[in-house]
Structure 1
Amino acid sequence: MNKRFATALLILLSCAFAHAQKTPPPNLILIMVDDMGYSDLGAYGSEIQTPTLDKLAAEGIRFREFYNNSICAPTRASLLTGQYPHRAGMGFFDVNLGLPAYQGFLNKESLTLAEVLKANGYSTLMSGKSHLGKDSLAWPNQRGFDQFYGFIPGASDYFDIGNYGKADPVILVKNNKKEKLKPGEYLTNTITDNALEFLTEQNKQNKPFFLYLAFNAPHWPLQALPEDIAKYKGRYDIGWDSLRQQRIARQKELGILQAGQRVADRDPDVPVWDNLTYDQKQLWEAKMEVYAAMLDRVDQNIARVLNKLKELKKDDNTLIVFISDNGAQGGYSGNARKPTRNSGPIGTAGSYDYQEQPWANVSNTPFRQYKNNMHEGGISSPFIAWYPKKIKAGTLVKGTGHLIDIAPTFYELAKATYPANYHNVKSNPLVGKSLAPVLFGQATEVNRGEPLFWERAGNRAVHKGKWKLVSTFPSYTWELYDLETDRGETTDVAAKFPAVVNELSVEYFQWAERTGVVDYDKIKPAQPMNIPGQSAPARTRGN
């Protein structure tokens, strides 16, 4: 009897093992939006209608702390390689400043998610914004993607032509061949159209897929579909002061903003809404209506992706991660370039307006500062991960993840080997940590054992435990904040804790030396550079 029982048990275990061996690795979808603030989703406190992303949040996990690199190209370099941007060759932007860490395109030592996952049996698909170098050797198809549709530089119009004015031609690339956006098309929709086409074609292959969906919305120019704009008509007549308070209240209700946390002081350079004239209010309201409409359309398109997954019967074995590349963009049109080119009303083809500082201050609620700055408003992103039956629904954690953690997470879940050498080039070792323990409930934040570091155009920061050290170029003075109670960075405690400042600054300079960071004063361009997506410096405290 015991022998029979043992035999049966052995058979059952063998069957279970065989079944486990046949369990396919997950499909991976990475969604990134552009220039979206921390509070711009319903699940993070916004009034903007984002039901699809809110559903993913309700059925998945949200992080209170997830960090990017404060601006487009360096963020994308870290996201796709798991490296700090300097190690990947993009410490400044997609322009060459003459040093390997600032060459302006991805180096060969930093392997992309597409290269590694493709070598491990995945189909690799991308649709949207690349911004990883203008040279064709840095284009997505040359860096591991089987399929690519999108644009190479840092910004694009959303319409080729419209009822008012004429935009610049929208030059796109599909698998290394250039094409143009057709009249009547809207780029956010077309990016998704191509992603869905790739998923349909990929379904004929017997292997998992990795899809990188890189929307350019809500990055300037403010251009949206009339039916989306109409949904927000009059919604923003309350102004930015009241709206920011509404978002703070919602964040408290949602648990995004915890009890005892201080919010950022009101930006002193943002005018009081009630002091504006009627005409000024009408102009400003129109900007935010279009901005909201652009995000609304992104959410609608993510719903299309979910429907496609369900149609292909792949929704149960797909991980979706959603993030933003940096905080909302500050600065004023009086100091910026694009709005002077307007040839049509805000929202139409020919509109080159952007959200600007007063509304960006709302988007980055409850934080301080903006894109291209290392205070929390510049480097904080929402983080949503959805993986049915694997991630516990409705989870909200501290998290403290970073872009460099995405690659090790995906490789762990895909059971992918990260090669020490790739095409006879020694690979940079990964520096991030897998988010899997946090995603699956074994931890509430990443245990990385070392600080997180930032440097971009002379702006610097270190995050270790509850402490954050930060400085804003051209100043080299360190500020210190206790993020445990003051994530709004309202009270600089550097003078109170000099030992902490010394410890973190030493660690920063050690990191800078081994990562290739150079004093920005020594390499900064002689003349201001016309870089798409980089506003004039915001005229706020700390700049």
Structure 2
Amino acid sequence: MLVLADDLGFSDLGCYGSEIRTPHLDALGDQGARMTAFYNTARCSPSRASLLTGLHPHQTGVGILTGSTLPEGYPGTLTPDCATMAEVLGDAGYRTALIGKWHLSTDISTPGPAWPSRRGFQHVWGPLGGSCSYFQSTSLVDGETPVSIDDPDFYLTEELGRRAESFVRSAADGADPFFVYLAFTAPHWPLHAPESAIESVAGRYAAGWDETRHDRLRRMVALGMFDEGTDLTDRDPAVVPWADVADQEWQQRRMEVYAAQVELMDAAVGRVVAALEETGTREDTLVIFLSDNGGCAEEIAPGWVDEMDPVPYSTPARTLGGERVRRGNDPTVVPGGPQSFASYGRPWAQVSNAPFREYKHWVHEGGIATPLIASWPSGGLTHGWVREPGQLPDLMTTVLEATGTRYPERRGLHAIPPPEGRSLLAAWKGEGGRGPEPVLYFEHEGNAAIRQGAWKAVRRYSQPWELYDLARDRTERHDLAASHPERLADLVASYARWAQRCGVRDRAPIVAGRPAPGRAGGLVAPFVSSVPAIR
């Protein structure tokens, strides 16, 4: 059971230091391995492509997002010369299901070779595209049949939990093993949750983002994730002190809705785990939970949806009750209900990524560090923190070892590259340290990084390389590039060889040929790193 959250930050679970209540995921963490240094690829679609194929996203056709950036960039859709985890396990006799978000096909209206139903998933239910309303979800399919929502009580996260539970109960009745990929849209914007769930967290963020971030680090130290004396990154320059914030009630409400979304996701996971227990399959089921990128600092410009041209595919113009939908972050609109379509913005994203800096899109720790929980009662996993680093391609290799499944050399007529990762089972069993030191590589939108052991070289697009010793400075506060030029040069040279081998495309021509906002794969607008201070 592979569970993926969407835009969940490193510290957004209770067992990773959060004030958000996640008892079901906390229980999985208590019963299994929790990694302190596992990494995604900083963005939703590339992370999904890498997670499901065991390759780096550039090798799969999804190097940036869905939507073509050819000829300079990537096809933006899952190519045929890679194999998904569902295809590999399906060929080995597993029943396979995708319940949730796909986001790996440019075309989400006409069934094609990059649809999940044609990439190894025998049972499919969920949105094919990216972000969508939780109350009136778009791009939903059941197999390959479009699904429309007319139920006023519908809420996507709860529905995904119900359907995953149903699949588990059905599959448990058969003789074949099963693989379920439960890919939530939560807690990706829009900020949507039932009012009762929001009320249950009311007042929790009255102290504001500064105090909340410090509290999270204190809990992380108490949990043993980090050592005493670990530095918290400075407040983002674009974020003002909480005491100076206007519209404090509105700002609190943004984070309250986000917290409610996470708690509802946790409840949905608990529902599926209960089904595993009740069907007697929990002991033999490896459950893996992680997030596709760090907390999201994206702001959404306000406007009435029915006045937009083009109308975003992800946003209904009116609610089921006939109200106009106001898209964007507008302090006059209370977020949470179906008439809104907002995000929680940079200040709360920095809370989600505590104690790190940067966000989704970037490959500093805040953009790529994810909680990862692995729980397998009969698998002999350690119950505690695993400090050995790992990244998404490792999960395919890990699942192959856990299931005794061989990876194919071909997919139909196509020769496919071998997985790029290494198995994490030994680390999860407390037997880490075997084999060579891992080397991890990252690139997204020209932001690049390489981690070898504790050393990490990282850069923002078009900016100089930085160098950090993560054993002493996990929060990347002290740049050692000037004092260790030879080490930095070695890491950068290794990165360049990897980028050439794995088909990383130069960012500058892609930017020069970028399509207009809203025209490629559901993109709302290009995200920029410099935004006005939140006041």
One fold, TM greater than 0.5?
yes
Deviation at 1:535, TM superposition (A): 6.6
Give the corresponding residue for 2:483: 496
Separation in 2, partners of 1:449, 1:248? 28
Per the TM alignment, residue 449 of structure 1 is displaced from its structure 2 partner at its CA by 4.4
User: Secondary structure, in 3 states, of the residue corresponding to 1:371?
Assistant: coil
- Structural mapping, 1:258-337, within 5 Å: 258-277=227-246, 280-333=247-300
- Within 1, Cα distance between the matches of 2:471 and 2:419? 28
Matched, 1:62 2:34: yes
- Residue deviations 1:63-83, cap 9 Å, x none? 110000000000000000000
- Assess if the C-alpha contact under 8 Å between 2:299 and 2:344 holds in 1: no
1:510 counterpart SS class: helix
User: Which digits, 9 at most, give the CA deviation of each residue in 1:169-203, with x for residues without a partner?
Assistant: 63310111111133311000111122122223223
Is the Cα–Cα contact under 8 Å of residues 461 and 471 in structure 1 kept in the other structure?
A: yes
Which piece of structure 1 moves more, 386-395 or 213-222? 386-395
1:175 aligns with 2:143: yes
Aligned with 1:86: secondary structure?
helix
CA separation in 1, counterparts of 2:436 and 2:363? 20
2:316 aligned partner: none
Q: Deviations over 1:383-423 (max 9, x none)?
A: 11111143445311213111100101111111111111121
- The aligned runs of 1:340-379 (5 Å cut-off) are 345-379=334-368
Which residue matches 1:11? none
What is residue 123 of structure 2 aligned with on the other side?
147
Which residue in the other structure is 2:451 paired with? 463
CA-to-partner distance for each residue in 1:27-85, whole Å, 9 max, x for gaps? xx000000010000000000000000111111111011000000000000000000000
- Decide which of 476, 498, 501 is 1:514's aligned counterpart: 501
Contact 1:105 1:132 (8 Å CA) reproduced: yes
* Residue aligning to 1:417: 406
1:225 lines up with 2:194 in the alignment: yes
Q: Name which of structure 1's ranges 525-534 and 196-205 shifts more when overlaid on structure 2.
A: 525-534
Structure 1 residue 265, shift from structure 2 partner:
2.0
Q: Which moved more, 1:70-79 or 1:335-344?
A: 335-344
The separation in 2 between residues aligned to 1:125 and 1:210, in whole angstroms, is: 6
How far residue 226 of structure 1 moved from its aligned partner, in angstroms, is: 1.4
Q: Which amino acid aligns with 1:177?
A: T
Query: Judging changes above 3 Å, is the alpha-carbon distance between structure 1 residues 270 and 174 closer, same or farther for their aligned structure 2 residues?
Result: same
SS where residue 138 of structure 1 aligns? Answer: coil
2: CA distance, partners of 1:230 / 1:393: 37
Deviation string 1:229-268 (CA, Å, 9 cap, x unpaired) is 1111011000001111111100000011223433322212
- 2:216 aligned residue: 247
| Percent identity between the two aligned chains | 37
Is this contact kept in 2: 1:61–1:391, CA < 8 A?
Answer: no
CA contact (8 A) 1:222 1:346 kept: yes
Q: Tell me the residue number matched to 1:474.
A: 462
- For the aligned residue pairs, the C-alpha RMSD in angstroms reads 2.1
For 1:460-493, what per-residue CA distance to the aligned partner results, in whole angstroms no more than 9, with x for missing partners?
1111111111111232x11111111111111111
Once the 2 structures are TM-superposed, how far is the Cα of residue 100 of structure 1 from its aligned partner? 9.3
**Amino acid paired to 2:415:** K
**Is 1:204 paired with 2:173?**
yes
Scaled by the length of structure 1, the TM-score of the pair is 0.88
1:534 is displaced (CA, Å) by 7.2
Q: Are 2:233 and 2:475, in contact at CA under 8 Å, matched by a contact in 1?
A: yes
Corresponding position of 1:157: 133
Partners in 2 of 1:393 and 1:284 — Cα distance? 40
Structure 2 counterpart SS, 1:316: coil
- Structure 1 residues 526, 441: CA separation in 2 closer, same or farther (over 3 Å shift)? closer
Whether the aligned pair in 2 keeps the contact of 1:341 and 1:352 (CA below 8 Å) is no
Return the alpha-carbon distance in structure 2 between the equivalents of residues 80 and 224 of structure 1. Answer: 29
CA distance in structure 2 between the aligned counterparts of 1:260 and 1:432, rounded to whole angstroms: 33
Amino acid at match of 1:140: P
Report the Cα distance in structure 2 between the residues aligned to 1:240 and 1:480, rounded to whole angstroms: 28
Alpha-carbon distance in structure 1 between the residues aligned to 2:165 and 2:330: 34
CA contact (8 A) 2:95 2:177 kept: yes
- In terms of fraction of residues, the more helix-rich structure is 1
The residue type paired with residue 203 of structure 1 is A
Amino acid across the alignment from 2:115? W
Question: What residue in structure 2 maps to residue 110 of structure 1?
Answer: 82
1:539: Cα distance to partner?
A: 2.4
Aligned to 2:65: 93
Asked whether the equivalents of residues 86 and 101 of structure 1 are also in contact (C-alpha less than 8 Å), the reply is no
Change (3 A) 1:327 1:159: same
What amino acid is the match of 1:132? L
Looking at structure 1, the residues matched to 528 and 120 of structure 2 have their Cα atoms a distance apart, in angstroms, of 36
Q: 1:533 to 1:38 in 2, by over 3 A?
A: farther
Q: Work out the CA distance in 2 between the residues paired with 1:335 and 1:453.
A: 37
Quote how far apart the aligned CAs of 1:288 are.
Answer: 0.4
Aligned residues: 501
Structure-2 change in CA distance of 1:534 and 1:365 (3 Å): farther
What is the CA–CA distance in structure 1 between the aligned matches of 2:72 and 2:286, rounded to whole Å?
A: 34
Contact kept? 2:35, 2:386, Cα under 8 Å: yes
Q: Unmatched 5+ residue regions in structure 2?
A: 304-311, 313-326
Aligned partner of 2:426 in structure 1 is 437
Letter of the 2:33 counterpart: I
The runs of 5 or more residues in structure 1 that have no matched partner are 1-28, 161-168
Please give the alpha-carbon distance, in whole angstroms, between the structure 1 residues aligned to 2:330 and 2:523: 14
On the 8 A contact 1:329/1:535 being kept in 2, the answer is no
Q: 1:333, CA displacement in angstroms?
A: 4.2
**1:274 shift after superposition:** 0.6
CA, structure 1 residues 85+99, in 2 after alignment: closer, same or farther (shift >3 Å)? farther
2:288 maps to amino acid: V
d(CA) in 2 for partners of 1:100, 1:390: 45
Change (3 A) 1:328 1:335: farther
**Distance in structure 2 (CA, Å) of the matches to 1:392 and 1:63:** 12
Q: Deviations over 1:104-144 (max 9, x none)?
A: 11111210000000001111111000011133321111000
Q: Is the 8 A contact 1:67 1:401 kept in 2?
A: yes
Residue 397 of structure 2 is matched in structure 1 by 408
- Rounded Cα–Cα distance in structure 2 between residues aligned with 1:85 and 1:363: 25
Structure 2 residue identity aligned to 1:89: G
- Structure 1 residue 40 corresponds to structure 2 residue 17: no
